[in-house]
């Protein structure tokens, strides 16, 4: 690393933890760190904890003068306004002017975007979508997020909230969403939470079918337990993935007919299932596509590790900041 | 009109007829005309008929030197390649290099795009979407087409085929599409064809319910007959619009959560139903939106007449042509 080179700070705010990194223009993460998001009840305390955690790293790379700016990825983040608006998974309610608060505390420019958008930018600059002008990034974690790139640009929409694909209705009148109250949204089926609900439904609906999952206490029945069972060829657990893939593939087909991306990049905890998930997803996607779109769209997993993609994507915002 | 001003020709190829116009840069259509698409079995005959029809108009405006180029809107039109690919409603099968054929015959540059995309460009340059950077145009005609604009640019996708919203699956396992074989696509419900199918289903499902439509011979039961009955407060006909609006609104909600447009512009024959259609559509759209998107999206009808929008949109391509 050259000592005169400008650096960026990338911060990814998650419901539980916040990860951050100091990144150079090539996408090398020079320093990494994390703090708890949850334990800071007020945003003031949070900003303070963040500052205390990052300051030593800033000093190690040569001080504030080398930091061009800070990029933040956050749930319900609004790129246009630099705000976090009504994020259901955060302690801080209402509208938080996060970019402004960060810029004021650190004394450098700051920009903010939605966490899934940040990950998409990370993929475009440093990951599986390098060089692509049209792709969709879908995060399959506790929830389902998305970032959409068309014509080489992230789609923000007129208000900065575009790309809420996890909330599109995929089965009208279907499963009730625990947070939004909507019925049949993608997130209720293809998130880690949704997969557990599917397993519970299958266990209840087929009481005669043997399954490793019957021995797992209800509290410990999480997406990892289902994955472990499926790897052992447990039929019911494998059916859970087949069902999840069928629904995900159907949704992806609709997204393809919207923006005709070169690739769909899957990302997040659920993608650890690998072939178990991607095989039924691809099959269902192809079946639901208009012939003109078939056998064209690459369905791939992210090549970045999860926290790196978010840090890199958030830091990438900095190179766009107009000072 | 100034005699030295450059002009554009806009051509809209429909399954039955082709309309064209000579347009100035302000969007005034100086000359209009039409030929039959259907009666020309070969594309060579068609190009010839088109040339014979437009030539007198070109001469009236001062000859070929004043024509900067020709823009064509066509079903299954590919902007990147200038081709019409496997259009189910046209006589000419396979891949037709239409832009090339037109340019060769007329001796001026030509560009081509999908017909719904052309209409969207027309709305953006001269219609209801003037000044908007994010909107979706939906045509509700014999079929359902769409053109999507984000960040001020039409979304073409990686292959030029983006924006096939009529083929997105809105009711999984629903109504069979007569052409694609898919089940439950938007077009099977919210096109003129779909509305007639709904009326027939309702008439069969409720044999006891009186309706003006029962007196209409099956062959004459078209979307106009349903509209006429609904205007006379025929309950069954009004239910057809309510059902159509409910499904359309649900689909629009999904589209909004994709690209968060400032407006959705409805266009095409079915929009003549006015309030009968837009009231249930708006209600259903709002109900299916995540709160963050509610009461924000303008749902409006096109202000251009149908053939003008297509001619204007096609002609608008000309101003982008690099010569």
- What does the domain layout of chain A look like in residue ranges? 7-122+307-320, 130-303
Which among A150, A159, A253 is the nearest to B169, CB-wise?
A: A253
CA-nearest residue of chain A to B286? A182
List, for residues B135-166, the tens digit of each pLDDT value: 999 999 888 999 999 999 999 999 999 999 99
Residue B67 distance to chain A (closest CA, Å): 30
The answer to whether B168 contacts A254, with C-beta atoms less than 8 Å apart, is yes
Best to test chain A binding among B87, B290, B294, B295 (most A CBs inside 10 Å): B290
**Distance (Å, whole) CA A158 – CA A146:** 17
Query: Would you say domain A7-122+307-320 falls under CATH 3.90.1570.10?
Result: no
**A244: Cβ contacts below 8 Å, ≥ 6 apart:** A189, A190, A194, A195, A198, A270, A277, A280, A281
Mean pLDDT score, B290-299: 95
Mean pLDDT score, B37-48: 95
> Chain A, 163-202: which have a CB under 8 Å from a chain B CB?
163-165, 167-172, 180, 182
The answer to whether B258 contacts A148, with C-beta atoms less than 8 Å apart, is yes
- H helices of B153-274, in order, are 187-190, 192-205, 223-231, 235-259
So what's the pLDDT on residue B165?
Answer: 97
CA-nearest residue of chain B to A262? B158
The answer to whether A290 contacts B180, with C-beta atoms less than 8 Å apart, is yes
Cα separations in angstroms, B60 against B20, B27, B35, B57 = 15, 18, 18, 5
**Distance (Å, whole) CA A256 – CA A245:** 16
Q: In this model, does residue B323 exceed pLDDT 60?
A: no
The answer to whether A180 contacts B290, with C-beta atoms less than 8 Å apart, is yes
Residue A134 distance to chain B (closest CA, Å): 6
Q: In this model, does residue B288 exceed pLDDT 70?
A: yes
So what's the pLDDT on residue B322?
Answer: 59
The answer to whether A134 contacts B163, with C-beta atoms less than 8 Å apart, is no
Q: Which of A190-204, B51-65, B77-91, B264-278 has the lowest mean pLDDT?
A: B77-91
A-chain residues within 8 Å CB-CB of B261? Answer: 157-158
Best to test chain B binding among A134, A164, A243 (most B CBs inside 10 Å): A164
**Distance (Å, whole) CA B107 – CA B110:** 9
Residue B300 distance to chain A (closest CA, Å): 16
CA-nearest residue of chain A to B161? A260
* Token duo for residue B58: 């070109």
Task: Count, in order, helices (H) and strands (E) of chain A.
Answer: 9, 13
Judge contact between B274 and B291, C-beta under 8 A: no
* pLDDT tier, B307 (very low <50, low <70, confident <90, very high otherwise): confident
pLDDT tens-place values along chain A, 323 residues long? 555 689 999 999 988 899 999 999 888 999 999 999 999 999 999 999 999 999 999 999 999 999 999 999 998 899 999 999 988 779 898 999 999 999 999 999 999 999 889 989 989 988 999 999 999 999 998 889 999 999 999 999 999 999 999 999 999 999 999 988 999 999 999 999 999 999 999 999 999 999 999 999 989 999 999 999 999 999 999 999 999 999 999 999 999 999 999 999 999 889 999 999 999 999 999 999 998 899 999 999 998 877 788 899 999 999 876 55
B-chain residues within 8 Å CB-CB of A180? Answer: 290-291
Residue A86 distance to chain B (closest CA, Å): 9
So what's the pLDDT on residue B309?
Answer: 83
B161 touches chain A (CB under 8 A): yes
So what's the pLDDT on residue B161?
Answer: 92
So what's the pLDDT on residue B320?
Answer: 75
Mean pLDDT score, B233-245: 98
The answer to whether B155 contacts A293, with C-beta atoms less than 8 Å apart, is no
List, for residues B87-132, the tens digit of each pLDDT value: 877 989 899 999 999 999 999 999 999 988 998 999 998 899 999 9
Q: Tell me the ipTM for this assembly.
A: 0.91
The position carrying tokens 């297509």 is B310
> Chain B, 74-103: which have a CB under 8 Å from a chain A CB?
76, 85-86
So what's the pLDDT on residue A306?
Answer: 73
List, for residues B155-201, the tens digit of each pLDDT value: 999 999 999 999 999 999 999 999 889 999 999 999 999 999 999 99
A-chain residues within 8 Å CB-CB of B291? Answer: 86, 180
B-chain residues within 8 Å CB-CB of A151? Answer: 150-151, 153, 155-156
So what's the pLDDT on residue B2?
Answer: 55
Residue A60 distance to chain B (closest CA, Å): 40
Strand pairing of A7-13 and A67-74? parallel
Judge contact between A77 and A90, C-beta under 8 A: no
Average pLDDT over all residues of chain B: 93
The answer to whether B133 contacts A85, with C-beta atoms less than 8 Å apart, is no
A-chain residues within 8 Å CB-CB of B168? Answer: 253-254, 257-258
So what's the pLDDT on residue A251?
Answer: 98
Q: In this model, does residue B67 exceed pLDDT 80?
A: yes
User: B131-303 sits in which CATH class?
Assistant: alpha beta
CATH of the domain spanning A130-303: 3.30.420.40
């Amino acid at each position: 690393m050259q000592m005169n080179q400008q650096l960026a700070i990338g911060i990814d705010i998650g419901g539980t933890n916040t990860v951050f990194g100091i990144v150079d223009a090539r996408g090398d993460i020079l320093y990494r760190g994390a703090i708890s998001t949850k334990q800071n009840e007020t945003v003031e305390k949070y900003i303070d904890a963040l500052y205390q955690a990052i300051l030593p790293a800033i000093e190690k790379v040569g001080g504030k003068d080398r930091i061009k700016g800070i990029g933040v990825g956050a749930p319900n983040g609004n790129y246009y306004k630099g705000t976090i608006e009504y994020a259901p998974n955060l302690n801080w309610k209402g509208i938080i002017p996060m970019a402004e608060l960060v810029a004021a505390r650190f004394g450098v420019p700051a920009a903010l975007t939605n966490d899934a958008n940040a990950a998409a930018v990370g993929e475009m600059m440093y990951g599986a979508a390098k060089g692509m002008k049209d792709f969709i990034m879908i995060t399959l974690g506790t929830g389902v997020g998305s970032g959409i790139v068309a014509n080489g640009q992230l789609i923000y929409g007129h208000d900065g909230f575009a790309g809420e694909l996890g909330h599109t209705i995929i089965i009208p009148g279907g499963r009730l969403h625990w947070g939004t109250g909507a019925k049949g949204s993608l997130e209720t089926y293809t998130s880690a939470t949704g997969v557990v609900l599917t397993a519970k439904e299958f266990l209840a609906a087929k009481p005669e079918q043997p399954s490793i999952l019957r021995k797992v206490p209800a509290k410990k029945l999480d997406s990892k337990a289902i994955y472990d069972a499926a790897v052992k060829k447990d039929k019911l657990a494998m059916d859970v993935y087949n069902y999840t893939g069928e629904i995900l593939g159907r949704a992806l087909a609709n997204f393809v007919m919207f923006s005709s991306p070169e690739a769909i990049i899957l990302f997040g905890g659920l993608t650890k299932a690998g072939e178990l998930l991607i095989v039924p997803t691809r099959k269902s996607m192809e079946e639901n596509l208009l012939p003109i779109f078939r056998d064209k769209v690459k369905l791939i997993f992210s090549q970045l590790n999860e926290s790196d993609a978010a840090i890199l994507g958030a830091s990438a915002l900095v190179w766009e900041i107009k000072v």
